Structure 1
Amino acid sequence: MTSLANKMKVLAVDDNRTNLHILQVFLKKLGHEVIIAENGEEAVRKFEAESPDLVLLDIMMPVMDGFEAARRIKAMARDRWTPVIFLSALNRDENLVEGLDAGADDYLTKPINFVVLEAKLRSMQRSLSMQQESIDSLRRVQAISDNVIDAIVTSNAEGVIVSVNQSTERIFGWSTAELIGKNMGLLVPERPTTADTSVDVAFGQELELEARHKNGHSFPATITVSQVVLDNQAMSVGVIRDISERKRTEQKLRENARQLQDYYDQTQAEQHLALRLMEKQLHRKGLQDNRLRYTVIPAENFSGDIVAANRSQEGLFYALLADATGHGLTAAISVLPVLALFYRMTKLNRPIREIVLELNHQLKESMPIGRFVAVTLVCLNEAEKQGDIWVGGTPEAFLFDRWGRVATTFPSINLPLGIVGNDELGGDPLHFSWSDESQLVLCSDGLLEATDPLGVQFGVERLIAATANTSPTDRFTKIEAALAGHQGTAIASDDISLMLIDCP
């Protein structure tokens, strides 16, 4: 094990080489030694060969997943505690429970918040330092024990002390002369017994009890008693060990576990509060419009996909489907400015182009580099049976006729919002008209990329097939059923959103 004063030896495991490289650079910048592996099987081999201090472990990997790798690593690390922190895009409760059951000590979701990761590393480093101090202390005691054995006390059938060794004087504070002829109760007031209370001593078994020092204080100890015959008399030989240091270490480990649990409970409470606040922002009155049906299925507790709808004072119907980079709480926060601007501008009857430019300007100013929001924005003039649609970064949208056939396709020809300035964004909305009982279908890439248990994606073809020869009233339900049947038991890796709008 490396010295923990300045650095740790960290095993980083991820099948994504880009993620692994970023993680390696970050850890080296913090001064740690880094060992890398690209799958669970390689991680187990390198753990056995390198004996790292800490493991950062992805879950979804080829050859051997993170859960199995964690179980094998924990099985090998019996003599010392080696923390395992899962780094994964999976953050459902069942994923967290399975991770903890596999032996994980903590859990951090992707995309990784490196500030939080650094804090977790410092916390683990403190715990490992305490463990190292305990190990060093144990080694010092062991070195002494190699030359000076534990207290050995010999007593007769009546429990009278016949002889003691020098360690007895050190452990209990009494001199040999003071102990000879005294009862064992002087050292061990509570005599060890077996389950059968008629038997005074459980011979050959190590039992825990409270021992007493000369100064009157009690301390935890173990005693192992064997029976011998000396000079035709039955004698009991008790080997007594002071385990005060071990108990203090165990108490410290329990305290560390309690602190980790408190941290986890606090994090969960904060996430539940954030979820309630997000739901209040997302579930507005406009989404209750009887011409609209939608679903949003988050990959985690929070969704980076949002849907919104509103009617202007002049009666125009607006709808929005947005998909922020990533998923989880970070992605959900990224789309909040989009919601506020959408509802404010649609209430004022603003044209699609103006709304897009304002959204892009706000996101470009407020979001960090590398984060953006893909958007489909629709405005319908139901009185004239005409509409405008702008698609940027989301999958193509479809206009279906009354029989479920594709009447018009609206391709994604624009950049997502927040990447370039308004002068570079370009792209005017597409104008269209419709016939009676037509419907618009919008979706995020999470729907088209949803996989079955074999890894096959849902795709555009299955979406179109699900609508064929269906009536407008049950078309949304048919698409949902087709998606659920395709996914089966597979776990979604991205947020899924779907919106169907009746065009009267």
Structure 2
Amino acid sequence: MKVLAVDDNRTNLHILQVFLKKLGHDVILAENGEEAVRRFNAERPDLVLLDIMMPIMDGFEAARRMKASNSDRWTPIIFLSALNRDENLVEGLDAGADDYLTKPINFVVLEAKLRSMQRSLRLQQQSFDALRRLQAISDNVLDALVTIDEEGKIISVNPATERMFRWAPGELPGRNVNVLVPEPDHSRHDAYLARYREERIGHVLGSEREVEAMRQDGSVFPATLAVSEVLLDNQRLFIGLIRDISERRAAELKLRENAEQLRTYYEQTQSEQQLAMRLMEKQLHRRGLTDSRLHYKVIPAESFSGDIVAAATSPNGRFFSLLADATGHGLSAAISVLPVLALFYRMAKRDRSVREMVQELNQQLKEAMPVGRFVGATLICLDDSTRTGEIWVGGTPDALLVDQAGHVVRTFPSENLPLGILDAAPFAAEPVAFSWAPDSQLVLFSDGLVEATDQGGRQFGSTGLTDAMNGTSPRDRFERIEGALSAHLAESVAPDDISLMVIDCP
């Protein structure tokens, strides 16, 4: 310890100094009360050994002044005096002394008293350390901490409270807590506390709720408040934890605005898609698709399909049919094939040849489609009177001619580029001529059919198609293919548009 030893007798003072240093303490010396008070304020000792009878200022007055100047911490004072009457002991304790030892000094007793005082000082230091740790934690909490008494008076706040509510340091303690509360609760807050004192029913204790808080300038902001109650030194206190949620509220508002915008956008998109679907259906579902010789199915990967099928009979009785597959899928692919439909039906009505139809379709798509967009197609023309036909395949899988038993008797390979890639001059538009036996059928399909994968990642493939056709009658063949594809996909969703067309050759 750092010990201040005070005695006007230099011999006594020297003896004390030797004794204290032998015990391992640091010693500060003073020869009168006035010097003792001065050295006490300058050195801040841990303990004082103080003589009573001294010149200039006696020990009683020196003790009183030391205690008055050291209110923030306890520094024990032990009087050392030849005065041993009871009234001297009482006067010394009243002056602020913590113990009393008569002269001549019993150094064994003094050593024991020093050890006792040192233990007490160690406990005091531990308390100070704990308090500093708690203070550091409180000062660095980002949320506001406000402690009030039962009357609503603010006892203490942390720095975050002063920053959050924009009060200067030290201005809030002593004020009514309603200075942090806007109307109408500002005027009612004292009544809330009075009712709680009477009923002891706290609706806000132990839970967090959202409230409105008020800064010193009167501006109001949203916050959360959690209140707990403690009993300290027989005094009931309330501790409020306040969190500014202005940023959270702003983020929530922004999210709601975004959600409303998304909802509006979604509704507009849905409305536009419904209109687009009605327009597409009007273009797709023409009278020619109801021909009894035709069996078809289109399965879109999304709401719209980039695969289309079309059929029409010319004024001269020739039957035209088209299966087309645009790049990609969805609405953009569906839009890409609309010009193909319009051109196909107009040219079929004029009984144009397959070659002319292919050339015109290619040129129109080349001029209208952006780079990287094209349309694979299979186009056929059947003349029932001669049992002959023409077929052109470009960019779609090979077309098949199957006999009555479902066996492939001829394959029409996909040897041409899709429509919309090359200009007219280098583009191959010559169809392939063919004839058929009774009860034959043409099978046309897009790559989405053969590439359809099941849950195990296996493709339906050309094998799946031929297996489904073999041994079937012309009447049941389409349903058999359709059933085999459904069984293959099971719960899986096809990654691409699927189109299938089976055409009876009379």
Is the shorter-chain TM-score for this pair beyond 0.5, marking a shared fold? Answer: yes
How high is the TM-score relative to the length of structure 1? 0.64
Q: Which residue of 1 aligns with 2:390?
A: 388
Q: Which residue of 1 aligns with 2:445?
A: 443
Q: Which residue of 1 aligns with 2:150?
A: 157
Local SS of the residue matching 2:150:
coil
Local SS of the residue matching 1:315:
coil
Per-residue CA deviation, residues 94-151 of structure 1 (Å, 9 max, x unaligned), is xxxxxxxxxxxxxxxxxxxxxxxxxxxxxxxxxxxxxxxxxxxxxxxxxxx9669755
Q: Which residue of 1 aligns with 2:62?
A: none
CA spacing shift, 1:181–1:365, aligned 2, 3 Å: closer
CA spacing shift, 1:419–1:203, aligned 2, 3 Å: same
Per-residue CA deviation, residues 215-253 of structure 1 (Å, 9 max, x unaligned), is 766432222323334443222222334433432233223
Distance 2:143 2:460 in 1: 69
Local SS of the residue matching 2:386:
coil
Local SS of the residue matching 1:446:
helix
Q: Which residue of 2 aligns with 1:321?
A: 323
404-413 vs 314-323, greater mean Cα deviation: 404-413
Q: AA paired with 1:156?
A: D
Q: Is the 8 A contact 1:201 1:225 kept in 2?
A: no
Q: Which residue among 494, 497, 500 is the counterpart of 2:499?
A: 497
Q: AA paired with 1:277?
A: L
Q: Which residue of 2 aligns with 1:226?
A: 228
Q: AA paired with 1:422?
A: A
Count of residue correspondences? 358
Local SS of the residue matching 1:474:
helix
Local SS of the residue matching 2:417:
coil
CA spacing shift, 1:244–1:458, aligned 2, 3 Å: closer
Distance 1:341 1:149 in 2: 71
CA spacing shift, 1:148–1:325, aligned 2, 3 Å: closer
| Alpha-carbon offset, residue 403 of structure 1 | 2.1
| Alpha-carbon offset, residue 172 of structure 1 | 5.1
Q: AA paired with 1:187?
A: V
Asked if 1:263 corresponds to 2:255, the answer is no
Distance 2:444 2:200 in 1: 80
Q: Which residue among 400, 403, 420 is the counterpart of 1:398?
A: 400
Q: Please, which runs of 5 or more residues in structure 2 have no aligned partner?
A: 1-137
The root-mean-square deviation of aligned C-alpha atoms, in Å, is 3.0
Q: Which residue of 2 aligns with 1:246?
A: 248
CA spacing shift, 1:502–1:254, aligned 2, 3 Å: same
Per-residue CA deviation, residues 47-96 of structure 1 (Å, 9 max, x unaligned), is xxxxxxxxxxxxxxxxxxxxxxxxxxxxxxxxxxxxxxxxxxxxxxxxxx
CA spacing shift, 1:438–1:218, aligned 2, 3 Å: same
| Alpha-carbon offset, residue 360 of structure 1 | 0.9
CA spacing shift, 1:299–1:174, aligned 2, 3 Å: closer
Q: AA paired with 2:257?
A: E
Q: Which residue among 342, 348, 351 is the counterpart of 2:350?
A: 348
How high is the TM-score relative to the length of structure 2? 0.64
167-176 vs 301-310, greater mean Cα deviation: 167-176
Q: Is the 8 A contact 1:305 1:496 kept in 2?
A: yes
Distance 1:271 1:463 in 2: 33
Q: Is the 8 A contact 2:153 2:173 kept in 1?
A: no
Asked if 1:207 corresponds to 2:209, the answer is yes
Q: Which residue among 310, 329, 332 is the counterpart of 1:330?
A: 332
Local SS of the residue matching 1:473:
helix
Q: AA paired with 1:341?
A: L
| Alpha-carbon offset, residue 201 of structure 1 | 5.5
Q: Which residue of 2 aligns with 1:44?
A: none
Distance 1:380 1:183 in 2: 94
| Alpha-carbon offset, residue 177 of structure 1 | 7.3
Q: AA paired with 1:155?
A: I
Q: Please, which runs of 5 or more residues in structure 1 have no aligned partner?
A: 1-144
CA spacing shift, 1:329–1:150, aligned 2, 3 Å: closer
Q: Is the 8 A contact 1:151 1:164 kept in 2?
A: yes
Local SS of the residue matching 1:248:
helix
Instruction: Summarize the alignment of residues 85-124 of structure 1 with structure 2, pairs less than 5 Å apart.
Output: none
Asked if 1:478 corresponds to 2:480, the answer is yes
Distance 1:263 1:462 in 2: 42
Distance 1:481 1:149 in 2: 66
Per-residue CA deviation, residues 302-344 of structure 1 (Å, 9 max, x unaligned), is 1111100001111111000111111111111111111111001
Q: Which residue of 1 aligns with 2:369?
A: 367
| Alpha-carbon offset, residue 183 of structure 1 | 6.5
Distance 1:351 1:334 in 2: 23
Instruction: Summarize the alignment of residues 261-300 of structure 1 with structure 2, pairs less than 5 Å apart.
Output: 261-300=263-302
Q: Which residue among 159, 167, 181 is the counterpart of 1:187?
A: 181
CA spacing shift, 1:390–1:198, aligned 2, 3 Å: farther
